[in-house]
Amino acid sequence: MTNGRTTVLGAVRRSLGRSDADSDAAMAAAKARIAAHPRGLLPERSRCDPIAQLDLFQAQVEAVDATVVRLSALAEVPQAVADYLKSHNLPGDLRMAPAAELQALPWTTAAPMLTVTTGKAEPQDVSSLTAAFAGIAETGTLMLHSGPEGPTTLNFLPENHIVVLKSSQVVGAYEEAWERLREARADEGLPRTVNLVTGPSRTGDIEQTIQLGAHGPKRLHILLIEDAG
Amino acid sequence: MQATSRSFKDNAHQALNDEQLRRALDNMKEGFIAKRAKAAAKLPEFDALRDQARDIKDHTLENLDAYLELYAEKVESVGGTVHWCPTADDARKAVVDICQAVGAKTVTKGKSMIAEELALNEHLEANGLIPIETDLGEYIIQLRNEPPSHIIAPAIHLNKEQVASDFRAAHVDLPADRQLEEPQQLVGEARAVLRQKYLDADVGITGANFLIAETGTSIIVTNEGNGDLTQSLPKVHIVVASIEKIVPSLEDASAILRVLARSATGQEFSTYTTFSTGPKRSDDPDGPEQYHVILLDNGRSRMLGSEFQDMLRCIRCGACMNHCPVYHSVGGHAYGWVYPGPMGAVLTPSLIGVDEAGHLPNASTFCGRCEAVCPMRIPLPKMMRHWREQEFQKHLSPTAVRLGLGAWTFVARRPSLYHFTTGLKARVLSMIAGKRGRLAKVPLASGWTSHRDLPAPEGRTFMDLWAKQRRTAQRPGQETV
């Protein structure tokens, strides 16, 4: 492939009218911008206090046909999951992300009617539970990422996707979520997959009418844990 | 695909007489335009964000060689492979080689305009592979063996009855008496049929909305989630992307994403924006074992440094065609190749030649709505004018046009002759039209008058009226009207 690379880069440089010195200057400019990765203009709506931010997040999530319930502690999650599945007449089988925080919850005592298994999604799984990395208020967007505790398929294969998000994880703008991810990952770089999810799957491909549940989940339900005081 | 842009006039004529297409396109005027306007109004910073998006892309294009190198290094450092492809042939060969190396049989595909540009499905089939489109619109047109008619809504030219009949013809294993009247039933059937295909596929191919140099990441933006199933379930993920998709950083990608969905569908953000970096990691429970990027030039490097460089800012949102009166009238297929509407009228001649696609930049009223809504502020009408000039210089325009323009140039360079002939023409046309004020037939203007009357001039030219007003104004005490 060295050939293809030389041809493409050569053609780009010719069109840009580059000398060798110009190429070096371009490389320096590109490296400087990447190192600084400056933020641009952030929408005013994302600049608000944490309480208003949570309200904005919830309003935006609901505007895209997803649902939110607020809980005061993580320990309430099993009951909330059971309630949700029951309210939609869904079976009590739950495929859960192998996240330590979720596995440590009192499933057998708080929600004995549920059958909870962990791992990546299998075709027969109807409902999944995953943990978000961040919530982004400006558009009601969840940031989820892959890793040993987060199989990506859980976000897409099951028809019902339930997500645990803590209020301390909610930020105003996308850029703030990226900054947190950079800090959390230190030198590891990005995970294989980062999903920004805004509402359940939909399509407008039939006569421009919006239908939910095209290929991904038909329902997206967020359990928002108010842990920030 | 074989371009039919040369027969744009015939294509357009047929489209104008297609009642079903008329109804489908009418639908879109209400939909996309109103939704975009609403989304733009809800974000006070929208226009400032458009300026910023333009500046980010301009900076990237000015330093594209550096960003491409940095991007490729990064992809390779996380275990991915970059295939640099100067031409469409190189890209097609690279994709087939990857598929054959893993003994693939079926290949699922997310929606990709680059794959359309490569006519990848035909090529995969010719090499014994079975490509399956998974975006609902793309799946429908694949069943019909048609190209997309819109870059974000490929089946926008169809109604639900046509889709139902395609599904009945294709899904013969399902009960013949099933209900398929409602969109929800059609979506449900496609969901069930495609679900098994995702699981069976050996390779998943997606496009990319952006490539990030900082992290070696490819981004796909979808609403259905089909692209995500396509790229997470098979063993191999192939990204097909062209070189101008690069942006420097995660921040830059986020900044441009803020204007993408709002301009495209009028959503504040698309449902799924997915960032993929390399193959699955050793401790990941799922994800592809191989990650390949087909990095395609196919004529784009030629546009750099030319009067068409600005076109490389395009993020394929479709706003220009959603707002184009010509697209509204003829639909996407009339344009005869992959990219329709105003962006197609500029891009298609760049990629397949102005001799092949010279009609497209002429299919514009220069009303300017495309430029007014373009999130990347691409001066589309100006670039269509550049193509018209090139067409003229290359002697590609019809003889009648050349003679007419030649005569006009001769007269226009001689002001007194110009004023005399325009004055004469205005008076003669006004006289012939009489009280009706309209002309049913004018020599050399049958292109106009065979469809509608030509409104006749009122008799005096602007220059006449101007001179008269100046004379009146110089006499004090008289009204100046």
Q: Cα distance from A175 to chain B (closest Cα, Å)?
A: 6
User: pLDDT tens digits, residue range B349-388?
Assistant: 999 999 999 999 999 999 999 999 999 999 999 999 999 9
- Does one domain contain both A68 and A108? yes
Q: Cα distance from B170 to chain A (closest Cα, Å)?
A: 17
pLDDT at B121 over 50: yes
For residue A158, the model assigns a pLDDT of: 97
Any domain includes A41: no
Q: Which residues of B touch A173 (CB under 8 A)?
A: 254
Q: Which residues of A touch B135 (CB under 8 A)?
A: 205
- Does one domain contain both A165 and A190? yes
Facing B285 at nearest CB: one of A119, A199, A215: A119
For residue B198, the model assigns a pLDDT of: 95
CATH number, position A118: 3.40.50.10420
Residue B279 near residue B204 (C-beta atoms within 8 A): no
Q: Which residues of B touch A143 (CB under 8 A)?
A: none
- Does one domain contain both A6 and A114? no
- Cβ–Cβ below 8 Å for B45 and A203: no
Nearest CA in chain B to A211: B184
Residue A203 near residue B224 (C-beta atoms within 8 A): yes
Any domain includes A60: yes
pLDDT at B120 over 60: yes
Query: Does the beta carbon of B189 lie under 8 angstroms from any beta carbon of chain A?
Result: no
- Does one domain contain both A99 and A22? no
- Does one domain contain both A30 and A61? no
pLDDT at A229 over 70: no
- For residue A186, CA distances in Å to A62, A180, A190 come to 33, 10, 9
- Cβ–Cβ below 8 Å for B272 and A196: yes
The overall average pLDDT reported for chain B is 94
Nearest CA in chain B to A12: B301
Nearest CA in chain B to A218: B224
- Does one domain contain both A129 and A199? yes
For residue B481, the model assigns a pLDDT of: 47
User: pLDDT tens digits, residue range B235-268?
Assistant: 999 999 999 999 999 999 999 999 999 999 999 9
Any domain includes A187: yes
Rounded CA separation B412/B395 (Å): 21
Query: Does the beta carbon of B260 lie under 8 angstroms from any beta carbon of chain A?
Result: no
- Alpha-helical segments (H) within chain A: 2-16, 20-36, 50-63, 77-87, 100-103, 107-110, 174-185
Nearest CA in chain A to B192: A215
The arithmetic mean of pLDDT across residues A174-203, rounded, is 96
The arithmetic mean of pLDDT across residues A150-155, rounded, is 98
Facing B84 at nearest CB: one of A5, A153, A174: A5
- Does one domain contain both A94 and A186? yes
Facing A202 at nearest CB: one of B190, B268, B271: B271
The arithmetic mean of pLDDT across residues B405-416, rounded, is 90
Domains in chain A, number: 2
| Element holding B122 (H helix, E strand) | helix B120-126
Question: Cβ contacts of residue A172 below 8 Å, gap of 6+?
Answer: A42, A46, A47, A48, A53, A136, A137, A138
Specify the pTM: 0.93
pLDDT at B480 over 60: no
User: pLDDT tens digits, residue range B180-222?
Assistant: 999 999 999 999 999 999 999 999 999 999 999 999 999 999 9
Phi, psi of B296 (to 5 degrees): -105, 135
Q: Which residues of A touch B297 (CB under 8 A)?
A: 7-8, 11-12
- Quote ipTM for the complex: 0.97
User: pLDDT tens digits, residue range A5-40?
Assistant: 999 999 999 999 998 889 999 999 999 999 999 999
What is the Rg, in whole angstroms, of the alpha carbon atoms belonging to chain A? Answer: 22
- Substitution target from B139, B269, B282 for chain A, most A beta carbons within 10 A: B269
- Cβ–Cβ below 8 Å for A33 and B59: yes
- Does one domain contain both A89 and A11? no
- Does one domain contain both A56 and A22? no
Q: Which residues of B touch A151 (CB under 8 A)?
A: 284-286
- Does one domain contain both A53 and A157? yes
Q: Catalogue all structural domains in chain B, each as residue range(s) with its CATH number.
A: 43-298 (3.40.50.10420), 405-474 (no CATH)
Amino acid at A200: P
Handedness of CA B397, B403, B404, B410 (dihedral sign): positive
Q: Cα distance from A110 to chain B (closest Cα, Å)?
A: 28
Query: Does the beta carbon of B69 lie under 8 angstroms from any beta carbon of chain A?
Result: yes
pLDDT at B411 over 80: yes
The arithmetic mean of pLDDT across residues A196-213, rounded, is 94
For residue B127, the model assigns a pLDDT of: 98
Nearest CA in chain A to B140: A205
For residue B388, the model assigns a pLDDT of: 93
For residue B454, the model assigns a pLDDT of: 86
Nearest CA in chain A to B228: A156
> For residues A181 and B429, which has the higher predicted lDDT (pLDDT)?
A181
Residue B47 near residue A5 (C-beta atoms within 8 A): no
Domain extent, residue A181, equals: 49-225
Any domain includes A43: no
Residue A144 near residue A197 (C-beta atoms within 8 A): yes
For residue B392, the model assigns a pLDDT of: 87
Query: Does the beta carbon of B174 lie under 8 angstroms from any beta carbon of chain A?
Result: no
For residue A1, the model assigns a pLDDT of: 46
